[in-house]
Chain A
């Protein structure tokens, strides 16, 4: 049976993994290659790197990080953050990443999804959606861009469907209401999106304990679950999560 995936996410700034809450008190958390190797050892199914480098002239640092990780870690990994063109995608994929994720750039220019999918295949294109509850939206959730700072007036479920139609291969869904709260994934949002598209949905935002992962899969119908801080602060290892999932009869990779 296809296993549910556990995916650690790392924020990378100027070539280093950083941790911090809402971009405040950002601290160095280590070398991306070493952390990738560590999570791989723990049994991570995939990895996500989010480039939060502020200045665009330092973007090539990320390309170097990608190529170093790709030489040493042989599980799939996704790179997101600041990807605005097919050329940006090409650089990252050629450096050895398996997938790229687009968020703001895709909202502002949806054809980017289509162009990327045609060029590199849908399996390479992850549509990242940051969504927040808003009863005024048709399905109750609104898409935000610019790292959650800008409301777009777009209904999240409609956007997910459109993204699939344009050729996205997966959806990385972050609940802004839950992000950083440790209250658990937004199961309502996750279930709604997962039920509306026929591509895998990665749940993100809000995980605080082991049960939250199980819920994301059983109640949220997610195909994968992503977390950052619980790994960085060593609250749980990937193995802890998988052991618990197995106990709760969720199929995960050994």
Chain B
């Protein structure tokens, strides 16, 4: 069973619809017990970095998540990826889960529209089960103003170009984070979710 983390910030319908469509078994939850029992975790982030951290703490799953993420396949989506890092320019002074060293930064541009909204392509930086069957240069759907900037280049799974080449996906063992929305990225997105669901 997959635990889909719901910390009360928003709508998880598109994620659960996609999981239903690929016939995955999951439970939408904010309980520490469920997270411990689950064999995989999907963490769709909605809202702001600071609010997300404080909601996780309020629901008493911040520390649980930190421990469980490294024990089983984990997929953080959008803010769910960003929160794996130490801090974010969006909410200064707030510590994230800190699983990875690095900071979440805001796009800086006078010419580009912010947030980035729409389909952008990924450059695949390394081989991964998550992207099995997903071609280099595939387009995925993104909506964001902030991006993760990891200290360790080795965890970078994909890069995307928007004014700069930024990290749009990370992979470290079974811990995955993607800035794009697989649940909104058509066939390719469903493929990525299927790959994740199929991980051992």
Contacts and interface: CB of A to CB of B under 8 A. Distances in A.
Nearest to A120: B10
Contact of A74 (B21, B47, B115, B162): B21
B1 interface: no
Q: Chain A interface: which size bin?
A: 20 to 34
Contact of A75 (B117, B138, B161, B184): B184
B119 interface: yes
B143 A123 contact: yes
B117 A95 contact: no
Contacts of B141: 75-76
Nearest to B181: A76
B116 interface: yes
A5 B190 CA distance: 20
B119 A95 contact: no
Interface string A77-119: 0000000000000000111101000000000000000000000
B183 to A, nearest CB: 6
B17 A123 contact: no
B18 interface: yes
Contacts of B21: 71-72, 74
Contacts of B177: none
Contact of A93 (B11, B17, B138, B185): B11
A75 B121 contact: no
Q: Chain B interface: which size bin?
A: 20 to 34
Given A71-B21, A121-B46, A2 B119 contact: yes
A64 interface: no
Interface string B122-141: 00000000000000011101
B117 A70 contact: no
B118 interface: yes
Contacts of A120: 10-11
B116 A2 contact: yes
B93 to A, nearest CB: 22
Nearest to A201: B113
A172 B190 CA distance: 28
Nearest to A72: B21
B14 interface: yes
A74 B118 contact: no
Contact of A254 (B10, B46, B118, B139): B139
B119 to A, nearest CB: 4
B14 to A, nearest CB: 6
A44 to B, nearest CB: 9
Contacts of B20: 71
A170 B21 CA distance: 29
A223 to B, nearest CB: 7
Interface string A112-143: 00000000111100000000000000000000
Contact of B186 (A75, A121, A169, A200): A75
Given A74-B18, A75-B186, A198-B113, 9 more contacts: A1-B120, A2-B120, A75-B184, A96-B14, A121-B46, A122-B115, A123-B117, A223-B113, A254-B138
